[in-house]
């Protein structure tokens, strides 16, 4: 069984062709700008979207930590826990369980509904997260099952694991997409909670494996939105065989409501995506030292 | 109607691109002018303009009730209307005239009171049937007939067949009068151009006016010889047909006009830019439904260099347009890519896409050969037609399946018997069968009597059979009678069945009685609202292999069988099922009480074959598309996919390629028609607040495109809700 947060179909930006993206729950980094904060913890958890609450009180009938005040539900999140009984009787969409234990068959049932689109477009299934490599056994089983169905496979990973974990998956992987968020080790540790030495090493080893790979950098205002930063990363990966392209991803502010739903502080609540021309300027800096740079 | 003569300084740039820019701006002015005319609201852009303030047309009545009917009533009034109709000329335009009024709108009584179908009305009302009795047009003519003969040649043809069909003088008199009316309008137009030439000072525009004059002078009698003449003749037919009864069917535009272009090119009398200018002006004149590409009768791809020119011309025009690209496996991929590029570039809802495989194979199941099936082109809102060969009432006949469902539910709950989804299904199916039967009876009544109400005097002229037989298309003139019967509300019904199965039968959260109390009270009170939300959150149609998806397939198969079974009962008339509500979602919804999918009393039913908004959390297009493909009736008519896409989705050639692959897959899976809006949520919200601030915002409402500012608040909400949830 794997713990997943969602399966997103008709994904156009997670690899070649039309794809389905399977989001794993749990991550070993804590990027301050993460737009999927619900994927950080491995355990299922309850999200509360206050604006959707109609104050019906159904949740209070199954969980004593809930009550209705002035037309809206209030609750003690710690006391409620993450058992999810409250979410199961909430039909307004205010309470939602994030994280579901799923079998390989569950995932196949969903993603194979789009097999015709993958076949026509050269697409397939991408495992993302969270961090896929924290659930290596489930990932391996799923990738193998997908390959048996003739489906192109890819993962999106931070590569912040022992290389052997990735290596075990490579036979059933057609493409690896990995993040390299910052070039400076200390800055990387400051903003993500982990250093980048192992990531850099893994990218190099991945390159040696002969498996095609894509490196991506989420461009975050005030963090890594300088030409010298992009140039340094591009200079490193531009020399590596097997690189399909280097992609710059503009800051994604859409995680804001999830931070609220989780009662977690959003450090980048006021940040906005960079102007398109700025992204193009950064890409130009990367192109000087890397054969193929894209803005995603 | 605005005066556009001599409005530019003599040295103004009037290159073809610049003329089109000016014409586009002027079209926005015209659109604003007609915004206070209710007849133009909530419909296609149509290309019509507001008539002069002093224009008035009062019909003469030939029926004691105070209306006009039949051959004499329509031809007499049409002639009178043409004889006094305002003439419109814009020196920047390649073609003269626009339409401004519609004779059908001037009838105080819309159906001949002598023709009584009271015996059908109780069931029609009971099942929420839009019967189509008295409806007009909604089939396609064959422009090649008119283009090859011209008005003079058509008159000659009428004379020839009058002699062969004694006893049909009323038909031939009416058709001749119709043509004489158009010729009179053309003559007055030539005179008006002569007057304009005395005033216009810009040398290039004078030259254009002179060519426009010569073109129209020739077309009074003669058949078109050049691309310019062919397009102008089409403008005449289109505007006159709109004036008659608002007919808007087009043709296979690339193949219809290509021979003229190639001939002009060989003769050295046209440039590529000139051709694009003419086509753009034709599309500006009236956004009729035109098809591009597809397979020829013998199976070769019809995409040509000229097909690309049409797309480029539409891009130059960058306005409301109803071009449909017919997609098939062997089509030129580059053409599809170009079409998708323009869709995202201009964000005007064009082109649409139709699927050759499902349409052709489906139509062949009705007993037609593949050569005919390939000629059945997209020339209407959601419909296809064999040019000049078939009479169809496409998009005119609807059954409100949501109302049928609610009736079955009420009946089951009032009975002392079993309460289950299977029992409900049994009752729903029986009522649907009765609804289909009474609909078919209504169509046959129409076929028997429509000629005494409203003959098709314009479309008869470009059809194969009416002139030859002296019979109206609605009354024996057509070669085939393939009558459209559309179901509506498939998602409303499927979601209702699914909600009952899931919440009552599988989960046991509710009883039928609790559900019905809530439904009957329109989900009143906190408990009612809680039940509504629970039902609404059930496995919905469009979700991807959900209960709703399974019920929808069952509903569609049953409906399809029932409609097809009418072929035997009413032979030789055939009936073709489809799923399409048009924008009737509003009015049909108002006729239905609350339903167990969480829909409140009077709220809209679903649009066409689309799921209700919010069908799936990620709104996955593929899940929705698969669901719609699975419910295709599959006999040559459509159950369209309506998409609302964010402009950012197709950024870059790679993303456009993915959209192309999506389209190809959709049609390989049985899809028939795809309409796409490219629009972002912020813009549509702002436009909804202040429509006049967005005069050039074009949206594809259903099968048709419209200026957003011309929609009433109710229609705007329809579009806004769909886009926001998507």
Collapse the DSSP code of B210 into the 3-class scheme (helix H, G, I; strand E, B; otherwise coil) and give the result.
helix
Report pTM.
0.94
Q: Does B332 touch chain A (CB under 8 A)?
A: no
CA distance B202 to B49: 25
Task: Choose the closest CB to A120 out of B529, B537, B664.
Answer: B664
Of B474, A176, B509, B263, the closest CA to residue B465 belongs to B474
B656, closest residue in chain A (CA to CA): A12
> Which residue among A59, A79, A98 closes a domain?
A98
Interface probe for A, chosen from B538, B653, B664, B665 (most Cβ of A below 10 Å), is B665
Q: Does B618 touch chain A (CB under 8 A)?
A: yes
Task: Choose the closest CB to A12 out of B536, B545, B658.
Answer: B658
Interface contact flag, A8 B618, Cβ < 8 Å: yes
Task: Choose the closest CB to A18 out of B530, B658, B669.
Answer: B658
Distance from CA of A175 to the nearest CA of B (A): 17
Q: Does B668 touch chain A (CB under 8 A)?
A: yes
> Which residue among A53, A74, A98 closes a domain?
A98
Beta carbons of A183 and A232 less than 8 angstroms apart: yes
Q: Please list the pLDDT of chain A residue by residue as tens digits (296 residues).
A: 999 999 999 999 889 999 999 999 999 999 988 888 888 888 888 999 998 999 999 999 999 999 999 889 988 888 888 788 999 999 999 999 999 999 999 999 999 999 999 999 999 999 999 999 999 999 999 999 999 999 999 999 999 999 999 999 999 999 999 999 999 999 999 999 999 999 999 999 999 999 999 999 999 999 999 999 999 999 999 999 999 999 999 998 877 788 888 888 888 888 889 999 999 999 999 999 999 999 98
Judged by phi (left if over 0) then psi (alpha if -120 to 50, else beta), residue B289 lies in: beta
- Same domain assignment for residues A149 and A208: yes
Interface probe for B, chosen from A52, A55, A56, A116 (most Cβ of B below 10 Å), is A116
- Same domain assignment for residues A77 and A109: no
- Same domain assignment for residues A123 and A87: no
CA distance B393 to B445: 13
Distance from CA of B55 to the nearest CA of A (A): 52
Q: Does B533 touch chain A (CB under 8 A)?
A: yes
Mean pLDDT per 10-residue interval, chain B, length 726 residues: 92 97 93 80 80 93 96 97 95 96 92 96 97 97 98 98 98 98 98 97 98 98 98 98 94 98 98 98 95 97 98 95 95 96 92 98 98 97 96 98 98 97 98 98 98 98 98 98 98 98 98 98 96 97 97 98 98 98 89 98 95 88 96 98 86 88 98 90 83 80 74 80 65
Provide the number of structural domains found in chain A.
2
- Same domain assignment for residues A30 and A142: yes
Distance from CA of B504 to the nearest CA of A (A): 15
Collapse the DSSP code of A155 into the 3-class scheme (helix H, G, I; strand E, B; otherwise coil) and give the result.
strand
Contacts of A38 in chain B (CB under 8 A): none
Interface contact flag, B669 A116, Cβ < 8 Å: yes
A89, closest residue in chain B (CA to CA): B534
B536, closest residue in chain A (CA to CA): A91
- Same domain assignment for residues A62 and A165: no
Judged by phi (left if over 0) then psi (alpha if -120 to 50, else beta), residue B70 lies in: left
Collapse the DSSP code of B381 into the 3-class scheme (helix H, G, I; strand E, B; otherwise coil) and give the result.
coil
Q: Return the CATH number at A58.
A: 3.30.70.20
The ipTM is 0.93
Contacts of A92 in chain B (CB under 8 A): 533
- Same domain assignment for residues A57 and A187: no
CA distance B443 to B434: 14
- Same domain assignment for residues A281 and A221: yes
- Same domain assignment for residues A36 and A50: no
Collapse the DSSP code of B672 into the 3-class scheme (helix H, G, I; strand E, B; otherwise coil) and give the result.
coil
Interface contact flag, A18 B622, Cβ < 8 Å: yes
- Same domain assignment for residues A201 and A190: yes
Q: Does B508 touch chain A (CB under 8 A)?
A: no
Interface probe for B, chosen from A18, A55, A109, A295 (most Cβ of B below 10 Å), is A18
Q: Does B622 touch chain A (CB under 8 A)?
A: yes
Cis, peptide link before residue B351, omega less than 30° from 0: yes
- Same domain assignment for residues A198 and A281: yes
- Same domain assignment for residues A267 and A188: yes
Interface contact flag, B620 A9, Cβ < 8 Å: yes
Q: Return the CATH number at A150.
A: 3.20.20.70
CA distance B212 to B278: 11
CA distance B232 to B130: 36
Geometric angle at alpha carbon A15, from A236 and A252, rounded to 5°: 80
Interface contact flag, B622 A123, Cβ < 8 Å: no
- Same domain assignment for residues A223 and A181: yes
């Amino acid at each position: 069984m794997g713990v997943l947060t969602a399966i997103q179909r008709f994904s156009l930006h997670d690899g070649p062709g039309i794809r389905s993206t399977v989001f794993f729950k749990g991550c070993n980094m804590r990027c301050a700008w993460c737009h999927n904060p619900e994927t950080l913890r491995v355990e299922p958890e309850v999200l509360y979207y206050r604006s959707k609450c109609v104050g019906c009180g159904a949740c209070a009938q199954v969980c004593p930590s809930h009550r209705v005040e002035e037309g809206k539900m209030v609750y003690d999140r710690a006391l409620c826990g993450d058992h999810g009984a409250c979410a199961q009787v909430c039909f307004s969409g205010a309470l939602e369980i994030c994280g579901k234990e799923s079998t390989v068959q569950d995932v196949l049932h969903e993603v194979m509904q789009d097999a015709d689109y993958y076949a026509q477009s050269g697409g397939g299934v991408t495992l993302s997260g969270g961090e896929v490599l924290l659930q290596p056994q489930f990932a391996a089983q799923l990738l193998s099952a997908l390959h048996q169905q003739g489906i192109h496979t890819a993962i999106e990973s931070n590569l912040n694991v022992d290389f052997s974990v990735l290596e075990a998956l490579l036979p059933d992987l057609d493409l690896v997409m990995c993040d390299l968020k910052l070039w400076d080790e200390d800055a990387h540790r400051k903003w993500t909670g982990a250093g980048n030495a192992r990531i850099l090493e893994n990218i190099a080893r991945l390159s040696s494996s002969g498996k095609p790979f894509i490196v991506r950098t989420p461009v975050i205002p005030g963090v890594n939105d300088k030409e010298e930063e992009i140039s340094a990363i591009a200079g490193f990966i531009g020399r590596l065989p097997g690189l399909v392209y280097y992609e710059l991803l503009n800051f994604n502010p859409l995680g804001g409501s999830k931070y609220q739903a989780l009662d977690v502080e959003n450090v980048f609540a006021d940040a906005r995506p960079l102007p398109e021309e700025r992204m193009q300027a950064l890409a130009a800096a990367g192109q000087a030292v890397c054969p193929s740079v894209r803005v995603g | 109607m605005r005066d556009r003569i001599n409005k530019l300084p003599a040295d103004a740039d009037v290159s073809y691109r610049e003329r089109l820019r000016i014409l586009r701006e002027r079209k926005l002015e015209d659109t604003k002018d007609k915004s206070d005319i209710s007849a133009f609201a909530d419909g296609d852009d149509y290309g019509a303009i507001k008539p002069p303030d002093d224009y008035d047309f009062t019909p003469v009545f030939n029926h004691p009730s105070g209306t006009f009917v039949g051959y004499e009533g329509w031809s007499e009034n049409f002639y009178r209307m043409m004889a006094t109709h305002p003439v419109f000329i814009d020196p920047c335009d390649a073609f003269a005239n626009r339409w401004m009024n519609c004779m059908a709108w001037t009838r105080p009584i819309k159906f001949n009171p002598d023709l009584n179908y009271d015996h059908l009305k109780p069931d029609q009302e009971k099942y929420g049937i839009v019967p189509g009795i008295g409806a007009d047009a909604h089939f396609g003519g064959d422009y090649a007939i008119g283009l090859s003969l011209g008005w003079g040649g058509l008159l000659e043809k009428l004379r020839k067949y009058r002699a062969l069909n004694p006893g049909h003088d009323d038909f031939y008199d009416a058709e001749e009068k119709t043509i004489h009316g158009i010729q009179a309008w053309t003559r007055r137009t030539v005179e008006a151009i002569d007057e304009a030439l005395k005033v216009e000072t810009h040398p290039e525009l004078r030259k254009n006016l002179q060519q426009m004059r010569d073109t129209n002078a020739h077309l009074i009698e003669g058949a078109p010889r050049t691309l310019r003449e062919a397009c102008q003749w089409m403008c005449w037919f289109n505007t006159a047909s709109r004036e008659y009864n608002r007919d808007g069917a087009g043709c296979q535009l690339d193949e219809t006009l290509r021979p003229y272009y190639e001939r002009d090119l060989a003769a050295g009398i046209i440039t590529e830019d000139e051709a694009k200018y003419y086509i753009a002006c034709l599309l500006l004149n009236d956004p009729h439904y035109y098809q591009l590409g597809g397979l020829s009768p013998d199976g070769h791809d019809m995409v040509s260099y000229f097909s690309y020119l049409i797309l480029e011309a539409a891009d130059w025009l960058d306005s409301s347009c109803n071009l449909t690209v017919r997609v098939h496996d062997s089509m030129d991929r580059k053409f599809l890519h170009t079409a998708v590029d323009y869709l995202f570039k201009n964000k005007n809802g064009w082109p649409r896409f139709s699927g050759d495989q499902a349409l052709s194979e489906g139509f062949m199941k009705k007993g037609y050969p593949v050569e005919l099936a390939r000629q059945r082109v997209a020339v209407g809102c959601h419909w296809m037609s064999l040019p000049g060969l078939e009479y169809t009432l496409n998009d005119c006949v609807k059954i409100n399946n949501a109302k049928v469902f609610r009736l079955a539910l009420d009946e089951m709950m009032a009975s002392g018997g079993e309460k289950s989804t299977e029992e409900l299904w049994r009752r729903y199916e029986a009522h649907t069968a009765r609804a289909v039967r009474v609909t078919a009876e209504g169509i046959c009544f129409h076929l028997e009597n429509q000629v005494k109400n409203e003959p098709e005097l314009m479309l008869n002229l470009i059809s194969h059979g009416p002139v030859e037989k002296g019979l109206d298309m609605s009354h024996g003139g057509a070669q085939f009678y393939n009558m459209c019967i559309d179901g509506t509300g498939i998602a409303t019904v499927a979601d209702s069945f699914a909600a009952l199965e899931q919440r009552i039968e599988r989960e046991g959260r509710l009883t039928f009685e609790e559900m019905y109390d809530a439904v009957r009270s329109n989900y009143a009170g906190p408990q009612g609202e809680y039940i509504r939300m629970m039902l609404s959150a059930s496995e919905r149609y469009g979700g991807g292999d959900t209960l709703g998806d399974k019920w929808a397939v069952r509903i569609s198969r049953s409906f399809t069988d029932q409609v097809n079974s009418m072929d035997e009962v009413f032979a030789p008339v055939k009936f073709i099922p489809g799923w399409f509500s048009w924008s009737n979602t509003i009015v049909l919804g108002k006729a239905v009480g609350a339903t167990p999918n969480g829909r409140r009393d009077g709220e809209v039913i679903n649009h066409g074959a689309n799921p209700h908004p919010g069908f799936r959390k990620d709104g996955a297009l593929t899940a929705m598309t698969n669901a719609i493909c699975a419910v295709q009736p599959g006999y040559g008519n459509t159950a369209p996919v309506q998409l609302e896409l964010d402009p950012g989705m197709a950024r870059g050639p790679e993303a456009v390629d993915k959209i192309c692959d999506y389209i190809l897959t959709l049609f390989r899976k049985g899809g028939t028609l795809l309409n796409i809006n490219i629009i972002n949520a912020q813009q549509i919200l702002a436009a909804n607040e202040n429509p006049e601030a967005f005069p050039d915002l074009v949206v594809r409402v259903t099968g048709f495109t419209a200026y957003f500012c011309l929609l009433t608040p109710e229609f705007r909400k329809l579009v806004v809700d769909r886009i926001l949830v998507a």
